Amino acid sequence: MEEMITTPRILDGISIASEIKAEVADEVQALKARGIIPGLAVILVGEVPASQIYVRSKVKTCGELGIFSELITPSESITTDEMLALVAVLNARDDIDGILIQLPLPKHVDTKRLLESVLPDKDVDGFHPVNVGRLQSGQPGLAPCTPAGIMEILRRSDLAVVGQNAVVVGRSDIVGKPAAMMLLNASATVTVCHSKTVDLPKVTREADILVAAIGRPGFVTAEMVKPGATLIDVGINRVTDRAQVEEFFPGDAGRAATFAKRGSVVVGDIHPAAFESAGAYTPVPGGVGALTIAMLMQNTVTAAKLRRGISTRKK
């Protein structure tokens, strides 16, 4: 009997992000009908080109969805105390529901102290220890945007989570740990792996859902993946070596043209060859990364509701 060959399902983050943005726009209109305009303040310190592009995209999306946004751009010489004073003013403003401090900050600024100075109810990045605790205990709160995006991809793609073996490769506070906690809250059986994990391939081959979030291009290879697994690739790595590009994307004329034009291509933490045996996977680009700004917009609206005692439960 011939073995059936199934084509892996591509999980389109761009279309899912569009769905979420449309829903957020409707929520914003409903709030405006009650005299409430959700507001987001974004603090961008200094002149970091990549951060400037990303922040412009956030501000533009706010405008498209009807969210009030305020961009604050202190000079790179700003001190920790001056930043704390700025955050205190934003904490006190009723028209600001969310405060986002664009990272990285200059080395002389105490990033941890600053992030913890943001009121938990306005912490739309979900980094504050209070929000970490709310996530762990299953209380309503603001969750980190990228892990929240991962869960939306799984939910909106009708992919089973309950009872599934989920393996998260990476234990960062921003993605790995909160993603593991969200999967656990959704009744998956969760294993978190890291640089000290013994026999990593043995663990990853048991995964029904494999989340790669370590920042190493093509680290998870085909031999490390269970056939039919759902692969969630959080990595966004720029590859500038031609030999590596050819190794990751053999015979891919489109990638070769991109490399010739830009001198780099983007690859995730999962080797593209691993996708061939997957049941479903998120592409890079166009996968998880597309959800991050959409979830930030959702968090801003959620913050506006929570601060006013309005239910955040979806119909």
Determine which helix (DSSP H) or strand (DSSP E) holds 78, and give its type and residue range.
none
173 belongs to the catalytic site: no
Looking at the DSSP bridge assignments, the partners of residue 278 are none
102 belongs to the catalytic site: yes
Among the listed residues 58, 177, 226, 305, the single catalytic one is 58
58 belongs to the catalytic site: yes
Among the listed residues 97, 102, 121, 233, the single catalytic one is 102
Residues 6+ positions from 159 with CB-CB distance below 8 Å: 153, 209, 230, 280
**How far is residue 19's CA from residue 268's CA, in Å, rounded to a whole number?**
24
Strand order in the sheet with 209-212: 9-10, 280-281, 230-233, 209-212, 165-169, 189-193
**How far is residue 113's CA from residue 117's CA, in Å, rounded to a whole number?**
6
Looking at the DSSP bridge assignments, the partners of residue 165 are 189
The total number of residues shown for the chain amounts to 315
Among the listed residues 125, 208, 233, 269, the single catalytic one is 125
Residues labelled catalytic: 58, 102, 125
